[in-house]
Amino acid sequence: MNIHDRRPMGETGTGGAVAFRLNGAPVSVAAAPDLRLSAALRDEIGQTGTKSGCDAGDCGACTVLVDGAQVCACLTPLGQVEGCDVTTVEGLARDALGAALQRAFHAHGAAQCGVCTPGMLMAGHALLSAVPRPDERQVRDALGGVLCRCTGYLKIVEAVQAAHGFLAEAEPVVAGSTEFLAAESGRRESAAIGARIARLDGLPKLDGSEIYGADQVPEGALWLRALRCPHPRARFALGDLEAWLSARPGLVRVLTAKDVPGENSFGIYPHLKDQPVFSVAETRYRGECVLAIVGEREAVEAVRLNEFPIVWEPLPALTGPRAALAPDAYALHDFAPGNVLTRGRVACGDVDAGFAQAAHVASGAFETGFVEHAYIEPEAGHARRVGDAIEVFACTQAPYMDRDEVARVLGLPLDSVRIIPSACGGGFGGKLDVSLQPMLAVAAWLLDRPVACVYSRIESMVSSTKRHPSQITAKAACDADGRLVAYAMEGDFDTGAYASWGPTVAGRVPVHATGPYRAPNVRNLSRAVYTNGPPSGAFRGFGVPQAAIAQESLFDDLAGAAGLDRLEFRLLNAIRAGDATPCGQVLEASAGLAECLEKLKPHWRALLHDASAFNAGESRTRRGVGIGCMWYGIGNTGMSNPSTMRITLDAAGRLTFWNGAVDIGQGSTTALTQIAADAIGLPVDAFALVVGDTALTADAGKTSASRQTFVSGRAAEAAGRALRADILRLSNAGAGATLSLDGARLAISENGVATVIDLAALPANADGVVLEGVGAFDPPTVPLDENGQGVPYATYGFAAQIASLDVDLDLGTVKLNRIVAAHDVGKAINPMLVEGQIHGGVAQGIGLALMEEYLPGRTENLHDYLIPTAGDVPPIDIILIEDPEPLGPSGAKGIGEPALV
Ligand code: FES
C-alpha cells in the first residue's frame, strides 16, 4: 500500500501515521489525524469506491463500516480509526453476505446511476449483519442516512430484504468481486426485448470500480477552483492579481475573462450564448463564476476566498418575474428589453366562445418555486491538452453539445475537442448545460498541463441550473355533461440570469398545458423571464409538471361542479388515437391514457372506500385520494433531434456496439443493447460496449426529453438490422435465419442447414472491422407556427397516477400511504428498468410537491434542502400499458420524465 505524506495546509499533524485495517489488510496513512476518512481513502490510498457527495454528513454516499458500524467517512477523522477495521465497498465481497447483497442489488435493479450505491451497500450490510431477515421498516430505517436521487429507494429496500436468498449462490470469500459478479452475469440468458435483464453496466457500480468525474485525476494535474459571486447582482473590481499570486507558492495562475482564447460565453441555443465563462465587470446571479484559481491542489485548497483581491459593489436585483416585468425594471441583457427571453403560444378554436357556452368554469392561480436537481455526484472532471487538441473528461448528459461549447470557448475546430464522459452520478437535466468543462479546457489549454476540478456540494447547488419557478393563471370549462369546451392559461417562468433551456420550457409548456385531453378551444401562453435568480434550465419535464399542477387541479374542480367522479371525468375527456391535440396534430396511434384510467379503476374505488372508512372515525388526521394524468412529447419540440448508432463485427469475431447515448442511470446502455441484439439476432452478452465518447461514437443527441429509448432505440434497431442484412446477404440466407457467434466463426442456420462465415477471411478495414451496420433516426416533426400549430413530437407518453395520503389537520403534515402508477410506455424494453424510472420519477415528484424549494442563500446544501429519503417514499404499484408506437423500436416510447409529471 502506498503511503503518502499529506497534511492539509494549516494543520500541524502529529508526525505519526494512522494505522488501521482496510478491507482486511493493514494500512498506514501518514496524514493529519483530522483529515476526513473519505479523503484518506480516496486521495491517500487511492480507493475511490467510497463516494463524496456533500462532505457534511447529509447524503451518506461516503458510508463505510468502522468495526462493523456504518459511519459517514466524511465526518470521521482519520485518527479516529486508528486500530479499527474499516470496510469499504471494495471489500464488501470478502464475505458471503456482502457478495449476496451485491447480487441482490444487481438482480433487483437497485443501482441506477450508482453513485449512492456504495453507501447503500454498506448501510445494508451493517443491517444484515445484525438482523439477517429485516422487515421493510428496519431496512428503511437502516438506509435512512443515505440519499438516493434516482431509484425512489423501493428496489434498494427490496434488494436488502432479498439478500439472504442470494446467500446460497455466493461463495464465502472472493478475492476479486468484479470477477465474481462477472461470472454471475455470464450465466444470464440471452437478452430479448421485454426481458428483465440486469444492467449491462451494472457490475462496476456494485464493487466500487465505476469511474465518476472525481475518481480519475491525471498524474501531475493542477487543481482548479472557481471564485463565485456572493450577491444576486454586483459590480466587481479586481486588485493586483500578480502580487496576490506571487505571494502564494503553489498557485500558478488566475484565469479571468481576458484569458479565454475564443468566445467567453456559452449557452444551449446557437443565438443565445449569453452566459459568460468568467464574468465581465458585472454579475447577474449569486453563484456566477468570476474567475478561476489554478495551482497545486493543496495550495488551491488553502486559498481563503474572502482574502482574494476583489471588491464587490452589490447592485439592486430583480427577484422573480413580477419584479423583472415591471415597467421600471432594468434589463439584464441588452437583447431582451423588458426581460422577456421568449414567448410560447398554442391556440386553437374560439376560446372566448367556448367559455361563453360552458356550463361550468374553474379558474385559479398557481405558483411553484426553484427546484434543485440534487444529483448525488457534484460536477467533477479534468481536461488535458494533447498537442493542438483538448480532451475533457467530465460528467455530462450531452457530450456533443459539450464539445461544441468547448470548441467555441477555445476557438478550436470541432474535431480538436474530445469529450470523454465519466460515469454520470445523476443528471435529471442538470448536466445538460456545461459547468466546469469550459474552465477546465481554458486552464489546460493555456498551461499545457492536466487540470482537474471537483465542485463542493454548495458550489454545485449555487452554480447549477434549477427547475423554472412558475406563476400560472388558468381557466377551464366544460359543458353540462362534463365535456371540456375550453382551456386557457398564462404562465410566467423564471428563467433566471441566463437563457439555458428557457426557450425549451416556454415552448413545451403551451403544447402540454391542457393535459392529455380533447379540448376544442385552447389558448395557452407562456413567457420565460430573465431575473437575477439562478439560471433555470432542464429538469425532468421541462416545465410540464408546473403546468400540470394547475390544469389537474382545475379538472378536479370541474369534475366536482359537473357532479362526476374525478377519474370518470378524466376518462370522458381522455385524448385517444384519432383525436387532434391543441396543436392540430392528429394522434394516429399509441395514445394509452384511457387504458391507464381503465386499469386504475379498481384501485381508485378501493382506495376511495378505504379513505371513506378511515374518515368515518374521529381523528384529526384525514385521508385523501387524488388522481392526476399526464402526457409528454418524446424528444425535441418541433425540431430535428437525430441519433446515429453503429455496430461492427471484426475479424476476430468481436461484436461492438458504438453507442453515443450517455447513460445517466436510466439504463439506456442496457435497453439500447437489447434492441440492437434482437435486431441482429445475437444475445446481449455477445456485445462489447463503447459508450459516449465523441472520438469514438457518433452523435446520439443529448440524454434528455425521454428520447433515448425512442430515438436512439430506433437508430440501434436500424444499425442491427443493417448488419444482419449484410450477414444474410453474405450467406444467402432468408429473413428467418438464426445467428450464432463463436470467435471468428459466424454461423447462420436456416431450415436445419448451417452456413459458417469465417470472419477472419473477410477483407477488413484499418480497425479490423469486416462488417458493420449504421443506423440513424430523426423523429418526424413539423415546426410550430405562430399559433403553435404543427407536429411538435412524433409520439407521446401517457400516464395516470393515484395517491392516497393522510393529512394531519392540526399540523398540516402529509403522510403518503400508496401510489398507483399506470404508464403507457408503448413497449417496455426492459420492465425492470422502466419500473426503476417510475419509482425514481415518483420520488422526485414527491419532493417537488411536498418538500423541496431552492432559496438562494438559504437552502444551498443537502441539510437545508431536503429531498425524499427512504422513509418518505410510499409503496408504488405499477401498471404498465403497452400501446405500441409504430415509429418506436418494437413499439417503445419513453419513460424518464412521465413518472414525475
Ligand atoms: Fe442512487 Fe443514483 S442510484 S443516486
- Per-residue model confidence as pLDDT tens digits over 608-666: 999 999 999 989 999 999 999 999 999 999 999 999 999 999 999 999 999 999 999 99
Q: Which atom number of ligand 1 is nearest to the Cα of residue 114?
A: 3
Q: Could you report the per-residue pLDDT of 803-858, keeping only the tens digit for each? A: 999 999 999 999 999 999 999 999 999 999 999 999 999 999 999 999 999 999 99
The pLDDT of residue 684 is 94
For ligand 1, the distance from its centroid to the CA atom of residue 363, given in whole angstroms, is 39
CA dihedral sign, ordered 194, 147, 543, 435: negative
**Bridge partners for 363 per DSSP:** 475
Count Cα atoms within 13 angstroms, Cβ side, for 892: 29
Judge whether 822 and 799 are in contact, CB under 8 Å. Answer: yes
Nearest CA to ligand 1 atom 1: 148
For ligand 1, the distance from its centroid to the CA atom of residue 429, given in whole angstroms, is 15
Residue 503: enclosing H or E segment and its boundaries?
helix 502-512
Substitution candidate for ligand 1 out of 112, 373, 460, 835 with most atoms within 8 A of CB: 112
276-281: average pLDDT:
96
For ligand 1, the distance from its centroid to the CA atom of residue 840, given in whole angstroms, is 9
Sheet-wide strand order for 876-881 = 621-633, 796-808, 814-824, 876-881
775-803: average pLDDT:
97
For ligand 1, the distance from its centroid to the CA atom of residue 850, given in whole angstroms, is 21
Substitution candidate for ligand 1 out of 376, 428, 833, 869 with most atoms within 8 A of CB: 376
430-442: average pLDDT:
97
The residue length of the chain stands at 901
Neighbours of 617 (CB within 10 A): 8
Between CA 307 and CA 248 the distance in angstroms is 12
The pLDDT of residue 191 is 55
Q: Identify the DSSP state of 80.
A: G
For ligand 1, the distance from its centroid to the CA atom of residue 377, given in whole angstroms, is 9
Q: Which atom number of ligand 1 is nearest to the Cα of residue 150?
A: 2
Between CA 282 and CA 439 the distance in angstroms is 18
Substitution candidate for ligand 1 out of 63, 106, 113, 835 with most atoms within 8 A of CB: 113
Between CA 381 and CA 392 the distance in angstroms is 7
Q: Which atom number of ligand 1 is nearest to the Cα of residue 377?
A: 4
Amino acid at residue number 487: Y
For ligand 1, the distance from its centroid to the CA atom of residue 113, given in whole angstroms, is 5
Between CA 554 and CA 238 the distance in angstroms is 53
pLDDT above 70 covers what percent of the chain?
Answer: 96
The finding on whether 118 has its CB within 6 A of some atom of ligand 1 is no
For ligand 1, the distance from its centroid to the CA atom of residue 112, given in whole angstroms, is 5
The cell for 331 is: 434589463
Amino acid at residue number 503: P
Given pLDDT bands bounded at 50, 70 and 90, which one contains residue 179?
A: very low
The pLDDT of residue 842 is 98
218-236: average pLDDT:
97
The cell for 749 is: 442456420
> Residue 184 above 80 pLDDT?
no
For ligand 1, the distance from its centroid to the CA atom of residue 115, given in whole angstroms, is 5
**Phi and psi at residue 749, in whole multiples of 5°?**
-115, 135
The pLDDT of residue 306 is 87
Q: Helix 544-562 vs helix 502-512: angle between axes, to the nearest 10 degrees?
A: 20
Given pLDDT bands bounded at 50, 70 and 90, which one contains residue 178?
A: very low
Between CA 723 and CA 383 the distance in angstroms is 36
Listed residue (382, 534, 372) closest to 454, CA to CA: 382
The pLDDT of residue 704 is 87
**Phi and psi at residue 838, in whole multiples of 5°?**
-70, -45
Q: Identify the DSSP state of 850.
A: I
Q: Could you report the per-residue pLDDT of 487-539, keeping only the tens digit for each? A: 999 999 999 999 999 999 999 999 999 999 999 999 999 999 999 999 999 99
For ligand 1, the distance from its centroid to the CA atom of residue 41, given in whole angstroms, is 21
CA dihedral sign, ordered 176, 179, 183, 188: positive
> Residue 13 above 70 pLDDT?
no
The finding on whether 119 has its CB within 6 A of some atom of ligand 1 is no
Neighbours of 411 (CB within 10 A): 12
Neighbours of 56 (CB within 10 A): 15
The pLDDT of residue 168 is 80
Amino acid at residue number 639: M
Nearest CA to ligand 1 atom 2: 113
The cell for 335 is: 437583447
Q: Helix 437-447 vs helix 399-410: angle between axes, to the nearest 10 degrees?
A: 50
Residue carrying C-alpha cell 446477404: 729
Judge whether 484 and 255 are in contact, CB under 8 Å. Answer: no
Residue 254: enclosing H or E segment and its boundaries?
strand 251-255
Between CA 405 and CA 408 the distance in angstroms is 5
Neighbours of 516 (CB within 10 A): 30
Between CA 198 and CA 180 the distance in angstroms is 15
Residue 816: enclosing H or E segment and its boundaries?
strand 814-824
Between CA 51 and CA 857 the distance in angstroms is 26
Between CA 238 and CA 346 the distance in angstroms is 48
> Residue 6 above 60 pLDDT?
no
Between CA 890 and CA 391 the distance in angstroms is 37
The pLDDT of residue 15 is 54
- Mean pLDDT of all residues belonging to the chain: 95
For ligand 1, the distance from its centroid to the CA atom of residue 153, given in whole angstroms, is 9
> Residue 9 above 90 pLDDT?
no
Q: Identify the DSSP state of 551.
A: H
**Bridge partners for 471 per DSSP:** 367, 492
Q: Which atom number of ligand 1 is nearest to the Cα of residue 425?
A: 2
CA dihedral sign, ordered 436, 438, 442, 444: positive
Between CA 524 and CA 513 the distance in angstroms is 7
The finding on whether 112 has its CB within 6 A of some atom of ligand 1 is yes
Given pLDDT bands bounded at 50, 70 and 90, which one contains residue 183?
A: very low
β-pairing, 340-348 with 251-255?
Answer: unpaired
The finding on whether 116 has its CB within 6 A of some atom of ligand 1 is yes
Between CA 495 and CA 470 the distance in angstroms is 9
Helix (H, G, I), strand (E, B) or coil at 445: helix
The pLDDT of residue 670 is 97
Listed residue (4, 18, 5, 16) closest to 80, CA to CA: 18
The finding on whether 770 has its CB within 6 A of some atom of ligand 1 is no
For ligand 1, the distance from its centroid to the CA atom of residue 664, given in whole angstroms, is 10
Distance of CA 240 to the CA centre of its chain: 42
Whole-angstrom CA distances from 106 to 163, 170, 199, 210 are 11, 13, 7, 14
* Residues 826-860 as b or e (16 or more Cβ within 10 Å = b): bbbbbbbbbbbbbbbbbbbbbbbeeebbbebeebb
Sheet-wide strand order for 484-496 = 340-348, 522-530, 484-496, 470-478, 360-368
Between CA 395 and CA 647 the distance in angstroms is 25
Residue carrying C-alpha cell 449555487: 462
The pLDDT of residue 705 is 84
Residue 299: enclosing H or E segment and its boundaries?
helix 297-302
Listed residue (37, 30, 2, 27) closest to 14, CA to CA: 30
Nearest CA to ligand 1 atom 4: 148
Between CA 510 and CA 542 the distance in angstroms is 11
For ligand 1, the distance from its centroid to the CA atom of residue 143, given in whole angstroms, is 13
Between CA 461 and CA 866 the distance in angstroms is 13
Q: What share of the chain is helix, strand, coil (3-state, %, to 5)?
A: 30, 25, 45
Between CA 838 and CA 827 the distance in angstroms is 14
**129, burial (CB in 10 Å: exposed 0-12, middle 13-18, buried 19+):** middle
The finding on whether 665 has its CB within 6 A of some atom of ligand 1 is yes
Between CA 826 and CA 798 the distance in angstroms is 9
Between CA 8 and CA 603 the distance in angstroms is 58
Judge whether 18 and 344 are in contact, CB under 8 Å. Answer: no
Amino acid at residue number 525: L
Classify 387 in phi/psi space as left (phi over 0), alpha (psi -120 to 50) or beta.
left
Which alpha helices (DSSP H) does 826-872 contain, by range?
A: 831-846
The finding on whether 114 has its CB within 6 A of some atom of ligand 1 is yes
Listed residue (817, 819, 739, 815) closest to 773, CA to CA: 739
Between CA 344 and CA 869 the distance in angstroms is 36
Q: Could you report the per-residue pLDDT of 286-343, keeping only the tens digit for each? A: 999 999 999 999 999 999 988 899 999 999 999 999 999 999 999 999 999 999 999 9
Which alpha helices (DSSP H) does 563-712 contain, by range?
A: 566-573, 593-615, 668-680
pLDDT above 90 covers what percent of the chain?
Answer: 94
